[in-house]
Amino acid sequence: MSTQSPTGSSPTDHESASAGSRGISRRGLVVGVAAATGIAIVAGAEPAAAAAGSAREGTAADAPNLPRGFTDVFKDQYVQANGIRQHIVVGGDGPPLLLVHGWPENWYAWRFMMPALAQQYTVIAVDQRGIGLTDKPAGGYDAGTLATDLAALMEALGYSKYAVVGHDTGYVISYALACDYRDQVAQVALLEIPGPPGVGDYPLGPPYFVSEADNNKLWHIAFNRVNDDLIVDMVKSNADKYYQYEFAVQGGGTTLPRETIRYYVSLYTRNRDTLRASFGLYRAWETTLNQNMARASIPLTIPVLGIGGENSYGPVPAAALEKAATDLHSAIISGVGHWLAEQAPDQMVQVLSDFFAPYRAE
């Protein structure tokens, strides 16, 4: 199935909408304890104090420019699962839908989509291990461990079956989650990278000698992957420029509003440990490559949707999975680049609603 969306709206329009017409009715909220597993879930607790910055920075309660009524529906929770404390923003009614952000973002990337999705799903927007308010241990950043984090999280919340949406690095993690926990993931949508590393035409990743445009979008992978504090020092010394460049070069001709980028930069650079942890997935790249080559040998049989921005990867997120999924669907969001949830949230909600219709009907 191929789906083409209408032209995306500008990110600035969506930022300004936060003070306007995006009303949200109060919905049910997931709050509970998985007593059988002994995993604690705490709703509304304060995060552990940060070495720098506000202890509330990164919470929904403290997030800027949210849609009107957002915090009436969505609440912060902290869940101890797979040996780490995970931060989620959760709310809504209906079957569970797990949203997995990419780099360099956190749960906040989904903010414009979450109110509409909450009308049909219980929405769980997570901070990945090493990002935002989730714990930042020294290791465990390969896709298999990151997927196990999320499987343990959903088990702790009481869900044995759920749908998943993953963007960018969240694509990598969500693919692993769908492969490693086949009985739990009902459907998965994978957004805006040219396939999981280790899968497809280039099992070791894209070749180095690519076009300048492709190199500009991919060089950060090799840079972030260098496992030396030189990278931390280099980014820390010029963080604003580094992240502004990434948001612009991936934006398909536009970028995100300056205040949004400032929010992400502040979150990622609050201290050296935080910044170092944000590179964890890239530094485990070789392990993930090897894991994925094994995963791809057993194709996924659940419905899989690959989504690309017209001005970014287009059909590639789906095409990369042609040999790794037997029920593969594709969608292209017109007129936008990499940051689909922020550049075209309404179109994304429609595409996901259509794709997940069988899941909702179960």
In the structure encoding, which two tokens stand for residue 297, read together? 């040998």
CATH number for the domain spanning 120: value is: 3.40.50.1820
- The burial of 183, by beta-carbon neighbours within 10 Å (0-12 exposed, 13-18 middle, 19 or more buried), is given as exposed
State residue 214's pLDDT score. Answer: 86
| Single-letter amino acid, residue 287 | T
Q: Are 300 and 310 in contact (CB under 8 A)?
A: no
Q: Which residue has the tokens 């009481």?
A: 158
Tens digit of each residue's pLDDT (9 = 90 or more) over 320-330: 999 999 999 99
Could you give the number of structural domains in the chain?
A: 1
Q: Are 50 and 271 in contact (CB under 8 A)?
A: yes
| Single-letter amino acid, residue 88 | I
| Single-letter amino acid, residue 31 | V
User: 3-class DSSP state for residue 180?
Assistant: helix
Which residues have C-beta within 8 Å of that of residue 236, sequence separation ≥ 6? 269, 272, 275
Half-sphere exposure in the Cβ direction for 291 (13 Å, CA): 20
pLDDT by position in tens, the chain (length 362): 444 433 334 444 454 333 333 333 333 334 333 433 334 555 555 554 444 445 688 999 999 999 999 999 999 999 999 999 999 999 999 999 999 999 999 999 999 999 999 999 999 999 999 999 999 999 999 999 999 999 999 999 999 999 999 999 999 999 999 999 999 999 999 999 999 999 976 555 666 667 888 889 999 999 999 999 999 999 999 999 999 999 999 999 999 999 999 999 999 999 999 999 999 999 999 999 999 999 999 999 999 999 999 999 999 999 999 999 999 999 999 999 999 999 999 999 999 999 999 999 98
Cα separation, 102 vs 339, in Å, equals 9
Q: Are 278 and 104 in contact (CB under 8 A)?
A: yes
Cα separation, 50 vs 274, in Å, equals 9
Q: Percentages helix, strand, coil for the chain, rounded to the nearest 5?
A: 40, 20, 45
Q: Which domain holds residue 66?
A: 2-361
